[in-house]
Amino acid sequence: MRISWKEYEKALMDYQKNWELQNKILYTLCKNHPHHSDFQTINAKIWLIGRSYATGIERMILSHGEQGSSLSQLSRHMYKNRKTLDSIFTKLSPIKEPLNRDKLKVIVNEQGRFVKILGQMLRDNRSARSFASKYLHFHCPAIPIYDSLANKELRKMFRWNDDFEIFNKPAPADEDYYYFIMRFWQLYREMRKREKNVNVRFIDCYLLWMAS
C-alpha cells in the first residue's frame, strides 16, 4: 500500500508537538513582510528560512571569507532583482488549497523563474530549487516543498508514468521540480480522497517522516 495512514498520524503528531510553532513564526513573517523592497526584510527571511530548513543555499555561494557573507550576497542579489521577485510573488499570492492543474502550472512556472534568478549567483551550475520552494512556501503555503528526501520517498511511492504529466513543462520550469510536482499531485489527490483536511504542509511532514 502506498499510503500508511498510521504513519501519517504519527508524522502529524510529531509536527504538532515539535515543529508547528516554528513554522507559524515563518508564515507570519512572510505574511507581514511579503515584499523585497528593503534589506532588513530580505535578510530576516533568507536567514530564518535558509538556516531553519538546512537548504544548503550558503554552500552554493562563493564566500568572501567573512561570517555570513554568502547570505549577505544573496540578500543583495535578491534586492537587485526585487521587481521581478515581487512580480513572482504577486502571481503566487492568490493560490490557495485545494490544488488543481491550473494552480500547479502557475506554481511550477514561477518557481522556475525564481530558481533562474537565484542561479545567476550560484557556483558550479548548482540549483537552489530546495531553497526556492521552501522560501516560496512560507509566502504561499499551497506551494509544495521540494526536498531531496521527500523527492526520494515520492519516487518510491510512484514509479514514473507518462499519465502523471497533467500539463506540459513550462519553459521557465526547473525540470526536477516539475517532475516532483507531477508525482506530488498523485499523492495529494489520493490522500485527499480519504481525508479532506490533508494539505501541502501535512504531506511534506509525512514524506519526511517516511524518509527518516
d(CA 26, CA 22): 7
3-state secondary structure 126-181: CCCHHHHHHHHHHHCCCCCCCCHHHHHHHHHHCCCCHHHCCCCCCCCCCHHHHHHH
Q: pLDDT tens digits for 134-188?
A: 999 999 999 999 999 999 999 999 999 999 999 999 999 999 999 999 999 999 9
CA 210 to chain centre: 18
Q: How confident is the model at residue 56 (pLDDT cuts 50, 70, 90)?
A: confident
Q: Inform me whether the pLDDT recorded for 35 exceeds 90.
A: yes
166-169, long-range: CB within 8 Å, 24+ apart, which pairs? 166/101, 166/104, 167/101, 167/104, 167/105, 169/108
The phi, psi pair for 180, rounded to 5°, reads: -60, -45
Q: Which range among 6-10, 40-44, 55-59 shows the weakest confidence by mean pLDDT?
A: 55-59
Q: pLDDT tens digits for 65-112?
A: 555 578 999 999 999 999 999 999 999 999 999 999 999 999 999 999
CA 145 to chain centre: 3
What percent of the chain stands above pLDDT 70?
Answer: 97
pLDDT of residue 210: 96
pLDDT of residue 64: 62
pLDDT of residue 205: 97
d(CA 154, CA 144): 12
Write down the pTM of the prediction: 0.95
Q: What is the mean pLDDT of the chain?
A: 94
Q: How confident is the model at residue 123 (pLDDT cuts 50, 70, 90)?
A: confident
First-residue to last-residue Cα distance in the chain: 18
**Amino acid identity, position 101:** R
